[in-house]
Amino acid sequence: MNMLEENGKTSRPVRGSAQKALSLSVLIPLLALIVAVLFPLIFNLSGYVLSLILLAMSYTIVVVGLNILLGYTGQLSLGQGAFFGIGAYAFAILSARHGLPFWIGLLAGIMVPVLFGFVIGLTTSKLSGHYLAMVTISFQMIVSLVLNNWKTLTNGPDGITGIPRPSLFGLIDFKNDLNFYYLSLIFVVIVLWFAYRLKYSRLGRAMAAVRENEMAAGVTGVRVYRAKVMAFVLASGMAGLGGVLYAAGSNYISPDPFGFAQSVVFLTMSLVGGSGSAYGGLLGAVLLTFLPEWLRFLKEIYIAVYGFMVILAVLFLPQGIWGLTRILEKYFRKSQEVEALELKEFLPKLEFASDMMSVKGLSKHFGGLKAVDRVDFTVTSGEIKALIGPNGSGKTTILNLLSGLYMPTGGEILFDSQRIGGRRPEDIAALGIARTFQNIRLFGDLSVIENIMVGQTCRTQESLLSVAIPNRRARQERNLIRSKAMATLKFVGLQDKADWSAKNLPYGQQRLVEIARALATEPKLLLLDEPAAGLNASETDKLVDLLKKLNEMGLSMLLVEHDMSLVKSLATTVTVLNFGQKISEGNTEHTLNDPLVVEAYLGKEEEAYA
């Protein structure tokens, strides 16, 4: 039965710890929209002020796109000015030089930057940080050179004049600045609406997971490279739209406003306003467009004061000015009703006593180092198998091979009769293998429940279109994701911590959140890399009870652990590694007493005396 339908029949609403806004992120923008609509009608704005407002609106769209790339996905780009220029010139060339209708030029002004953004995103998908920044700077320089020197296309430094504004079926003429202001306002509202909804969508959570920890995102089912490319596509498309509005608003463009300096300005606007929020882009763009004008009374020193104020904002407001609203947010919250589910309702139902995973001749070499050397073992459905051995014996390397983080040098891995060796982590997660890490890898800046909801990425279908255009199916899916997340948190005993920032939890609870996130992927097999590491005796006992309950529900586990008392409490069979090779295997009691195993852990008697 479809889970949406089943959920509606069997669940009852309960009060959850999730919070839904009256929030400032809704209230303030709504008030701002009312002001934006009425302001030009109440005040007789001069042409200069209105032109500054139009400039700020075009910048807003560009910076919101940059926020998706930088704030949502964590990709540092210094080439947003290039996409801004490509959009402006694509529109101007078609509409002013070739006489095509405004709306065709508008479409080209968006799609041409999108094409470039797709190529840049695809070719830089494995880069991040300053390496990515260097590539985007190079792209920016190339675009600036083309705009200045390809005169037959761009008219060089002289630029393009006579850029038209549209009319709407001959009824509304947007040549009038006030009419064009309202047209631009419509585009700004659409972009902000989309960017706001994107942040809390399936794709938005995937982007946030990529920003926080790419490795953890991959094994949780997030398509990391797709999220990065999509972020570039959206950022470049919005930059192109901003370029179109800039060109049409000013009726003239030249290469100067689209250089590297403009990319730096866009980055500054993003940081000052708040790169983690769509509305931060609006705030940063408006503030830094008008701030120089407000400071001109300082005459010669106004640039220095402007720069100093920007530096202060970046240093002392790391989440930007919009981040201040988070401090007040708790006063504007109310509880949200979520569906009461049980974890067993959506974990896969498994048949026992069948080989779930079969590993044959598995090898992984790093140059001349054989970290794993021709290892064989099987995991039976419904069992807990322990993989033990001294430090450096290859245990974690095997988990990395099974979860897709490493490509095998040799051998094969069969899971549910499918070969998975060398497949991407997100594909393996979708097949039903989840894992935790020895060193906890949470998405620290996300809330606890958002961490769990990321785990549902590979089990849900929400599309980009449903982000822009809400529909009943997408709304049901969002509610179901939250319901499952709350059920998982309830199972591990952390439902009261749902809205806490994950990085603020105690270590033991962070471990439980990581396990809960793995469970949210609805796995058939759970890979646990030293889950008791760093836990005290009480926390370890609770962990053992939790894992036993999961096993009773039918979940199979492959456990890497040094705590032999925990292994004895949980594992039915044990595989022992030493120097990358299997040295023993069998039921737990017999294997732990094998002389070869005792020797591997304790060394020979004469070596101990020596």
Block residue for tokens 């463009």:
253
Q: Are residues 135 and 193 in the same domain?
A: yes
Question: Regarding predicted confidence, which is higher, 296 or 132?
Answer: 132
Q: Are residues 486 and 540 in the same domain?
A: no
pLDDT of 13 reads: 42
Q: Would you say residue 17 has pLDDT above 60?
A: no
CATH code at position 213: 1.10.3470
Let me know: does 415 contact 433? Beta carbons within 8 Å: yes
pLDDT of 330 reads: 55
Give the integer Cα–Cα distance in Å for 174 and 180: 5
**Residue type at 328?**
L
Confidence of residue 129 (pLDDT cuts 50, 70, 90): confident
Q: Are residues 486 and 568 in the same domain?
A: no
pLDDT of 333 reads: 52
Q: Are residues 428 and 514 in the same domain?
A: no
Confidence of residue 157 (pLDDT cuts 50, 70, 90): very high
Residues paired with residue 87 on neighbouring β-strands, in sequence order: none
Confidence of residue 92 (pLDDT cuts 50, 70, 90): very high
The tokens describing 218, both together, are 């991959």
Q: Are residues 371 and 493 in the same domain?
A: no
Predicted model pTM? 0.89
Query: 13 in a domain, yes or no?
Result: no
Q: Are residues 177 and 219 in the same domain?
A: yes
pLDDT of 25 reads: 64
pLDDT of 15 reads: 41
Give the integer Cα–Cα distance in Å for 527 and 433: 7
Confidence of residue 522 (pLDDT cuts 50, 70, 90): very high
Percent of the chain with pLDDT over 90: 66
Most confident of 349-363, 429-443, 470-484, 584-598: 429-443
Q: Are residues 319 and 455 in the same domain?
A: no
Query: 491 in a domain, yes or no?
Result: yes
Query: 439 in a domain, yes or no?
Result: no
Q: Would you say residue 51 has pLDDT above 60?
A: yes
CATH code at position 402: 3.40.50.300
Q: How many domains does the chain have?
A: 3
Q: Would you say residue 21 has pLDDT above 70?
A: no
Domain boundary residue, one of 520, 546, 567: 520
Q: Are residues 107 and 49 in the same domain?
A: yes
Give the integer Cα–Cα distance in Å for 144 and 269: 21
Nearest to 248 by CA among 95, 80, 82, 110: 95
Q: Would you say residue 73 has pLDDT above 80?
A: yes
Mean pLDDT of 598-605: 68
Domain encompassing residue 450 = 445-520
Q: Do the bridges between strand 384-388 and strand 556-560 make them parallel or antiparallel, or are there none, so unpaired?
A: parallel
Question: Regarding predicted confidence, which is higher, 36 or 335?
Answer: 36
Query: 214 in a domain, yes or no?
Result: yes
Query: 1 in a domain, yes or no?
Result: no
Let me know: does 429 contact 220? Beta carbons within 8 Å: yes
Query: 342 in a domain, yes or no?
Result: no
pLDDT of 23 reads: 61
Q: Are residues 229 and 319 in the same domain?
A: yes
Q: Sign of dihedral through CA atoms 591, 532, 607, 374?
A: positive
The tokens describing 526, both together, are 């759970």
Block residue for tokens 């972009």:
191
Domain boundary residue, one of 303, 332, 361: 332
Q: Are residues 461 and 554 in the same domain?
A: no
Domain boundary residue, one of 496, 520, 544: 520
Mean pLDDT of 480-496: 92
pLDDT of 48 reads: 86
Least confident of 20-34, 152-166, 413-427: 20-34
Percent of the chain with pLDDT over 70: 91
Confidence of residue 18 (pLDDT cuts 50, 70, 90): very low
Query: 9 in a domain, yes or no?
Result: no
Question: Regarding predicted confidence, which is higher, 437 or 299?
Answer: 437
Nearest to 357 by CA among 426, 421, 413: 413
Summarised one tens digit per residue, pLDDT across range 299-357 is 778 788 878 888 888 788 888 888 887 766 555 555 455 565 777 777 776 555 577 89
Q: Are residues 300 and 311 in the same domain?
A: yes
Q: Are residues 455 and 558 in the same domain?
A: no
- Mean of the per-residue pLDDT values of the chain: 88
Query: 8 in a domain, yes or no?
Result: no
Q: How many CB atoms are closer than 10 A to CB 391?
A: 7
